[in-house]
Each structure stands twice: as structure tokens, then as C-alpha cells.
Amino acid sequence: MRSRDSKANPPVPKQFVDKMATRARRMHNLLWAEVFDNWLTYPKDVREELRKAGWEPPRPAADEMGQPLLNNDSGEDYLYMHRQGIRYANTILAQAGDSDYSRIEGWLEIPSPGNGDFPVPALWFDPAESAVVTRFTERSKTDITFEKYLRPWESMFTDPGYLKDISLGTFGALIHSTVHDVVKRRWSAVAGERRPNPGPGVETIPVEWDDPRYDYLADFYSMQLNPVYWKYSGWVDDRIENWKVVHGVFGDDFWKARWVGKMPEAGEGAPEALHERLDDPAVASQHAAEAEQMLLIIGRGRAAVIPP
């Protein structure tokens, strides 16, 4: 078996980690995933506040009961968000100039139990976590889950015969509601303290949580710093290419859905792409503050309808 510092799993360049750790990117990723996954579960007044601020997802990922919506093209938004992240990541990696980690390369196959490069971290107990999440995390880390779910899903999602009969939106929604959820729990390691969410009694996420060392895979505020996230994200990107080949699609102008969240407000001549805009410190600071305010509205709105 190869060790974790082998060429199959080299350390991520510091320049790249520092870019991903900026507060604006953390806030944007957290809010994008929050509204994308949960929009239809919010109280109406919360949705109205988010809508006025420009944060209404045009295609929510789940219905009012949290069940995935497979046929509204939300899956394309999910895939497009991954592709834009990889595009920017490869730009930063090229600038870093690390020959051992020159670009994002996804898993060729999801690592099986016993893989020495990507061992499954041990389960831990968090007394503040919900019983549902605790059980799901426990199951996600088992060999049975790999054999019964991850391996068959991967086989299905790489099968040309299966891919030819589904849209890209449905494909993305299926990946998002299956492999995505298991991977982020399966390879999560104990995070130590629990990051506070804006809401009643919590006005802001303390800046201590912006430390690049906070790379908890199961938190949208930090997963983009975790090396496993980029292996998974690259795997997702390869699935887009599988689908394109089967459907005879070429080039990059094939997307029906491209929602990456509210674009950061910037002056004339600013870059069109999300991540490049966030390279501007002034733009990033304003965007982070606005995103956190939206998270505060969501947190307070939830608390108002959930009995103590």
C-alpha cells in the first residue's frame, strides 16, 4: 500500500489552500449550498428576504420534505458549480508551480476499503449532533455502505447504457443526492469544536474559523480546503465528460443551468467569473458580509418556527 504522502495523494500547495480559505469563498460556498439544498423548507418571510437580496436559487435541489428534485435541472447547477471551482483551482495551481500537484485530478475510482492513500477516518461521537446525522455518518464509514451503495452507484454513473437515457440535470441531481452525501461523511475526520452558525445569540462566524487548518469535509464552510473534496470534485467533473461522450456533446456551451449564487458586486471592468471577482479584497469583503447577513436571516427564521 502507498502512504498518504505518496504521489497518489500529494499535499495541496499552500498558495491554493490560502485562496480557498478566504472568508468570502467560505461564506459564498456555505450560503450557496444552504439555499440550494433547503430553499423550499424556509418560512415565506425568510425566502422573501433572500429573494430581495438576490439569493433565490432558480432551481432548488429539494422539495419541502427535503427529497431531491430530479427533473428541474438543479443537477446542472450542481455540476456547473463544480466545474467552475475546478477551472479556478487549476488556474491557482498553475500559478503555484508545484509539479506534484499541478492540476485537479479526480479519483479514477472511488477509493475502496483499505485504500492506503485515502483511509476512512474513525467515527467519533459529537453530543451536539443530531441522531439522524450521527447514524448517517456511522453508516457512511462502513465497508457495507461502500459495497452496497458507493460501488453500485459508481458503476451506474459510468455506464453508457444508463447515461444515454437521462438528462444532464437528472444526472447531476442523482450524484448530488447519493455519492456526494456519503463521501463528505465517509471521509470526514473529527473536527474538534463545532463551528457556530449565525442565528439567535450568534451574530457572526468568528474569524478563528477562517484558519486554513479548518478543513472539515462535512462543513460547506470548509470542505473546499480538504484534499478529499478535490479528488471527489474531479471525479464529478469526469462524470460530466462521460455524459457528454454518450450524448455526442462537444465544447463548453451546452449548459442549460449555471447558477453559482449571487454574483459579487463589482465595478466596471471586473471579471465576469465568480472566483476571479472574489480575488479583489474590497469586493470579497463586501460579499462576505452580505452572505453572512443572509445566513443570519436563515438562522433566525428557522429558530422562530422550531420549538425550543
- Report, as an integer, the average pLDDT of 198-202: 91
- Report, as an integer, the average pLDDT of 19-25: 97
Structure confidence by residue, pLDDT tens digits, 73-114: 999 999 999 999 999 999 999 999 999 999 999 999 999 999
The answer to whether the Cα torsion of 208, 214, 217, 218 is positive or negative is negative
pLDDT at 215 over 90: yes
pLDDT at 139 over 60: yes
Confidence (pLDDT) at 103: 96
Confidence (pLDDT) at 4: 33
Structure confidence by residue, pLDDT tens digits, 239-252: 999 999 999 999 99
Confidence (pLDDT) at 302: 86
Task: Tell me the pLDDT band of 161, cut-offs 50, 70 and 90.
Answer: very high
pLDDT at 270 over 50: yes
pLDDT at 7 over 80: no
pTM, rounded to two decimals: 0.94
The answer to whether the Cα torsion of 211, 215, 218, 222 is positive or negative is positive
Q: What is the distance between the alpha carbons of residues 80 and 243, in angstroms, rounded to a whole number?
A: 14
Amino acid code (one letter) for 79: L
- Report, as an integer, the average pLDDT of 157-178: 98
pLDDT at 2 over 60: no
CA gyration radius, the chain: 19
Q: What is the distance between the alpha carbons of residues 125 and 191, in angstroms, rounded to a whole number?
A: 11
Q: Give me 70's grid cell.
A: 430530479
Confidence (pLDDT) at 192: 81
By mean pLDDT, which of 27-31, 49-53, 71-75, 303-307 is the weakest?
A: 303-307
Instruction: Classify 126 in phi/psi space as left (phi over 0), alpha (psi -120 to 50) or beta.
Output: beta
pLDDT at 299 over 80: yes
| Locus of grid cell 443551468 | 257
Confidence (pLDDT) at 308: 52
Confidence (pLDDT) at 76: 98
- Report, as an integer, the average pLDDT of 208-214: 96
By mean pLDDT, which of 47-51, 199-203, 304-308 is the weakest?
A: 304-308
pLDDT at 146 over 80: yes
Confidence (pLDDT) at 306: 62
Q: What is the distance between the alpha carbons of residues 253 and 64, in angstroms, rounded to a whole number?
A: 32
Instruction: Classify 78 in phi/psi space as left (phi over 0), alpha (psi -120 to 50) or beta.
Output: alpha
Task: Tell me the pLDDT band of 10, cut-offs 50, 70 and 90.
Answer: confident
Task: Provide the CA 289 distance to its chain's centre, in angstroms.
Answer: 20
Task: Tell me the pLDDT band of 5, cut-offs 50, 70 and 90.
Answer: very low
Confidence (pLDDT) at 9: 78
Confidence (pLDDT) at 3: 30
Task: Tell me the pLDDT band of 198, cut-offs 50, 70 and 90.
Answer: very high
Task: Tell me the pLDDT band of 263, cut-offs 50, 70 and 90.
Answer: very high
Q: Give me 152's grid cell.
A: 453500485
